[in-house]
């Protein structure tokens, strides 16, 4: 991931430049490879770069052939070669960066440009001829992005990848809405992402096609192997990350052994990318797939992850952390996450610790499994969904809010250490398939376990000619929320520490401290306190607290849901 900071129509942009560079420096962890900035008229764009594609020539901000368009991007454009070919010889590209195509999509299609992008991105483009800024964010908000204003400078607008860039100069900040584009010439933000399953659409009634679910997810993973640096997979041992790891292992494997499993450890494996015809092909070579997991010693996920890694033949790194190490990291985790949501902080702390380990291996990009639970209704509280309409509406709501929850976690936990996380489940084409069939198929009833559709799509037991994707006891393993799966002692210790840190008197008085979004547990109070110590009041409105629907539990842990299988309680 990279980092962006921009100020448009600043009254003294040259005088503001030293502060702008300091604000950009606050997110250098996102892009430790290079820093760039450009001033044009009253606009400054800065960029902190993490080099993944176009290593030698992709420094930003990027400029058009005539230097009138200036662009700063955070993200990856998977179909950039296809777009380049479509331009023919109309433009002379300056770099091999996947992001440069945005300049000329804007030149030809104006604010419809993002509709043609397949990837994860947030960008700010400045048109110096028109003194116009356009800013956009990918359909699901995989990349973090914010917009801000200062009441003393009503004509000025700011953009940044993280809050820590904005709050020193903005008294109003919002998360930039996913799937939208902002146009300074109209000062309007409009939605460009218009999928058929969005809220307000009819409940889907299309028949389920399991083979289509499988094939579109496989394609989504292949796209995300576009890289010029070593990459790996996050492997918790749960269904979602294990499937992503399985598909990636199949795509990067040179040849199979006699049992159809991964080849020897010293083989060089193929790296798959997308050519200028839109086809998948080998573009580079690296060592065999690396996988990474973390948990407390003996955690449920750690045991399962090792089993998956052995089955797939990945080069696996299974790390453990102590409860004290997790507790010591909490304040830094909240600083990087920029949230006080209980679920997000619980799950992000192990991911934050693991990301540092991964970066030490020289890996700069990982695939991760975020989004599946929202798409397929995988959280255990979905057992209580009363009907298919309500079930579907809840999945749409969860998917729409991913940018405030799991996408935020995946993006910022990894970016804290200059690591990029890519999420195949949130591929546009896969979403259209997975959200487009009759939601009755997703419901947890009639003996079906949660995410039955996804499990069944990759169950090859009736296809003797097809190599199994996963061992059956992994493919059909019950859902564990990540913060539970790393070891139940982790959540218990957080609750216990909060109980001893926050007095009964302070907790009882919480309503006088916070007038809205009042913490309902001592753990929530503790996190909010650490958040407020690092971020001013205008940042709090960007936070959404994750709570399960159809449940009276104040604890969002999967263990608190009555349907959680008892045997996991003793793990």
Please state the residue numbers annotated as binding site for ATP: 234, 294, 368-369
Residues 255, 174: one domain? no
In a domain, 205, yes or no: no
Residues 139-144 have a mean pLDDT of 98
Q: pLDDT for 358-403, tens place per residue?
A: 999 999 999 999 999 999 999 989 999 999 999 999 999 999 999 9
Q: Are 341 and 387 found together in one domain?
A: yes
Same domain, 131 and 240: no
pLDDT digits (tens, 9 = 90+) for 11-49: 999 999 999 999 999 999 999 999 999 999 999 999 999
Lowest model confidence (mean pLDDT) among 4-8, 251-255, 531-535: 251-255
Between the CA of residue 132 and those of 4, 5, 235, 501, what are the distances in Å? Answer: 17, 16, 43, 50
pLDDT at 151: 97
131 and 20, same structural domain?
Answer: yes
pLDDT range class, residue 563, cuts 50, 70, 90: low
Count: domains in the chain: 2
> What percent helix, strand, coil does the chain show, rounded to 5?
40, 20, 40
Specify the pLDDT at position 552: 74
Q: What are phi and psi of 395, to 5 degrees?
A: -65, -40
Q: How many CB atoms lie within 10 A of CB 226?
A: 26
Contact 418, 364 (CB under 8 A): yes
For strands 365-367 and 69-77, give the pairing: unpaired
Report the candidate in 417, 423, 285 with the shortest Cα–Cα distance to residue 361: 417
Mean pLDDT of 231-251: 95
Distance (Å, rounded) from C-alpha 451 to C-alpha 434?
A: 11
For residue 254, what pLDDT is reported? 45
In 3D, which of 134, 182, 138, 199 has the Cα closest to residue 1? 138
Q: Is the domain of 380 the same as that of 328?
A: yes
What is d(CA 232, CA 225) in angstroms, rounded to the nearest whole number? 9
Alpha carbon 548 to chain centroid distance? 20
Residue 488: the pLDDT is 75
Q: Is 289 left (phi over 0), alpha (psi -120 to 50) or beta?
A: beta
How confident is the model at residue 200, as a pLDDT?
A: 76
The larger pLDDT score, comparing residue 18 to residue 553, is at 18
Task: Give me the pLDDT at residue 477, please.
Answer: 82
* Cβ–Cβ under 8 Å, residues 138 and 128: no
d(Cα 437, Cα 428) in Å, to the nearest integer? 15
In the predicted model, what is the mean pLDDT of residues 211-216?
98
CB 329 within 8 A of CB 353: yes
Cα 102 to chain centroid, rounded: 21
Give mean pLDDT, residues 507-519.
Answer: 96
Binding site as annotated, residues for L-glutamine: 98
Over 50: is that where the pLDDT of 269 sits? Answer: no
| 548 pLDDT above the threshold of 80 | yes
pLDDT tens profile 80-107: 999 999 999 999 999 989 999 999 999 9
- Are 348 and 311 members of one domain? yes
Examine the pLDDT at 513 and tell me if it is beyond 80.
Answer: yes
pLDDT digits (tens, 9 = 90+) for 400-456: 999 999 999 999 999 999 999 999 999 999 999 999 999 999 999 999 999 999 999
pLDDT digits (tens, 9 = 90+) for 331-363: 999 999 999 999 999 999 999 999 999 999 999
**Domain boundary pick from 160, 191, 222:** 191
| Per-residue pLDDT at 78 | 94
> Could you tell me the CA-to-CA distances from 285 to 50, 229, 234, 266, 317 in Å, in that order?
20, 10, 20, 13, 21
Residue positions forming the annotated binding site: 98, 234, 294, 368-369
d(CA 130, CA 64): 14
Tokens of 171: 């008294």
147 plus 220 within the same structural domain: no
Residue 45 contacts residue 6 (beta carbons within 8 Å)? yes
Do residue 378 and residue 258 come from a single domain? yes
Assigned domain for 437 exists: yes
Percent of the chain with pLDDT over 70: 89
The yes-or-no verdict on residue 273 having pLDDT over 60 is no
pLDDT recorded at residue 256: 35
Instruction: Say yes or no: 177 and 222 in one domain.
Output: no
Domain that holds residue 445: 210-570
The Cα 334–Cα 182 span in angstroms is: 29
pLDDT computed for residue 551 by the predictor: 77
Q: Is there a domain that residue 55 lies in?
A: yes
DSSP character at residue 202: P
pLDDT top residue among 314 and 486: 314
Domain contains 200: no
User: Is residue 518's pLDDT more than 60?
Assistant: yes
Of 191, 226, 245, which closes a domain? 191
Cα torsion 214, 220, 222, 225: sign: negative
In the prediction, which pLDDT does 259 show?
39
| Cα gap 371→87, rounded to integer Å | 33
Residue 483 has pLDDT above 50, yes or no: no
Is 268 within the bounds of a domain?
yes
Phi/psi for 214 (5° steps) reads -65, -50
Same structural domain for residues 153 and 121? yes
Query: CATH code at 164?
Result: 3.60.20.10
Residues forming the active site: 2
Residue 128 lies in a domain: yes
- Please tell me the distance from the alpha carbon of residue 67 to that of residue 536, in angstroms, as a whole number: 38
Task: Say if 412 falls within a structural domain.
Answer: yes
Three-class secondary structure of residue 359 per DSSP: helix
Reported as a single tens digit per residue, the pLDDT across 178-204 is 999 999 999 999 999 999 898 777 899
Are 258 and 341 members of one domain? yes
Q: Cα(509)–Cα(374) distance, rounded to whole angstroms?
A: 35
Residue 284 has pLDDT above 90, yes or no: no
pLDDT band at 51 (very low <50, low <70, confident <90, very high): confident
Residues paired with residue 320 on neighbouring β-strands, in sequence order: 295
pLDDT of residue 252: 82
Neighbours of 282 (CB within 10 A): 15
Distance CA 9, CA 398 (A): 36
Cα 167 to Cα 362: distance, rounded to the nearest angstrom: 33
**Domain for residue 276, yes or no?**
yes
At residue 485, the pLDDT reads 53
Q: Looking at the predicted structure, is the pLDDT value of residue 497 above 50? A: yes
Burial 83-101 (b: 16+ CB within 10 A, else e): bbeeeeeebebebebbbbb
Same domain, 370 and 282: yes
What CATH number is associated with residue 326? 3.40.50.620
Region 6-12: what's the mean pLDDT? 98
Domain boundary among the residues 134, 159, 191 is at 191
Unique residue bearing structure tokens 């948990």: 295
In three-state secondary structure terms, 296 is coil
């Amino acid at each position: 991931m990279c980092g962006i900071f921009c100020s448009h129509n600043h009254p003294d942009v040259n005088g503001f430049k030293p502060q702008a560079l300091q604000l950009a420096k606050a997110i250098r962890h996102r892009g430790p490879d290079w820093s760039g900035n450009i001033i044009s008229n009253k606009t400054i764009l800065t960029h902190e770069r993490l080099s993944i594609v176009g290593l030698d020539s992709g420094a930003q901000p990027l400029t058009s052939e005539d230097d009138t368009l200036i662009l700063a991007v955070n993200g990856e454009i998977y179909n950039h070669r296809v777009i380049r070919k479509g331009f023919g010889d109309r433009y002379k590209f300056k770099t091999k960066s996947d992001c440069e195509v945005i300049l000329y999509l804007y030149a030809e299609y104006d604010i419809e440009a993002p509709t043609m992008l397949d990837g994860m991105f947030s960008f700010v483009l400045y048109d110096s001829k028109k003194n116009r800024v356009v800013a956009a964010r990918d359909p699901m908000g995989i990349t973090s992005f914010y917009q801000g204003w200062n009441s003393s400078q009503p004509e000025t607008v700011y953009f940044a990848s993280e809050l820590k860039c904005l709050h020193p100069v903005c008294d109003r900040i919002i998360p930039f809405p996913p799937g939208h584009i902002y146009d300074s010439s109209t000062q309007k933000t409009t939605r460009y992402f218009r999928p058929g399953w969005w809220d307000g659409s009819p409940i889907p009634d299309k028949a389920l096609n399991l083979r289509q679910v499988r094939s579109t997810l496989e394609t989504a993973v292949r796209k995300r192997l576009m890289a010029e640096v070593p990459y790996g997979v996050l492997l918790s041992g749960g269904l979602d990350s294990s499937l992503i790891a399985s598909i990636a292992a199949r795509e990067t494997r040179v040849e199979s052994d006699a049992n159809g499993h991964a080849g020897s450890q010293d083989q060089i494996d193929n790296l798959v990318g997308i050519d200028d015809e839109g086809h998948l092909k080998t573009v580079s070579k690296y060592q065999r797939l690396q996988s990474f997991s973390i948990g407390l010693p003996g955690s449920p996920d750690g045991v399962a992850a090792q089993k998956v890694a052995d089955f797939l033949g990945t080069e696996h790194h299974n790390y453990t952390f102590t409860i004290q190490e997790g507790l010591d990291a909490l304040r830094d985790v909240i600083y990087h996450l920029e949230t006080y949501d209980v679920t997000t902080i619980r799950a992000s702390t192990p991911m934050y610790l693991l990301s540092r380990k991964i970066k030490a291996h020289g890996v700069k990009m990982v695939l991760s499994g975020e989004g599946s639970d929202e798409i397929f209704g995988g959280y255990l509280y979905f057992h209580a969904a009363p009907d298919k309409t309500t079930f579907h509406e809840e999945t749409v709501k969860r998917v729409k809010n991913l940018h405030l929850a799991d996408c935020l976690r995946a993006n910022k936990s990894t970016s804290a250490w200059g690591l990029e996380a890519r999420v195949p489940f949130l591929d546009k084409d896969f979403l259209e398939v997975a959200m487009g069939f009759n939601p009755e198929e997703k419901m947890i009833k009639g003996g079906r376990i949660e995410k039955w559709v996804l499990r069944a799509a990759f169950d090859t037991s009736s296809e003797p000619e097809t190599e199994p994707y996963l061992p059956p006891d992994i493919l059909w393993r019950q859902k564990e929320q990540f913060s539970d799966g790393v070891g139940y002692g982790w959540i218990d210790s957080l609750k216990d520490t909060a109980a001893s840190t926050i007095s009964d008197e302070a907790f009882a008085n919480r309503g006088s401290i916070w007038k809205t979004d009042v913490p309902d547990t001592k753990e929530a109070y503790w996190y909010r306190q650490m958040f407020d110590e690092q971020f001013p009041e205008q940042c709090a409105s960007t936070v959404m607290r994750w709570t399960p629907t159809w449940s009276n539990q104040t604890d969002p842990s999967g263990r608190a849901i009555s349907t959680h299988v008892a045997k996991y309680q003793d793990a």
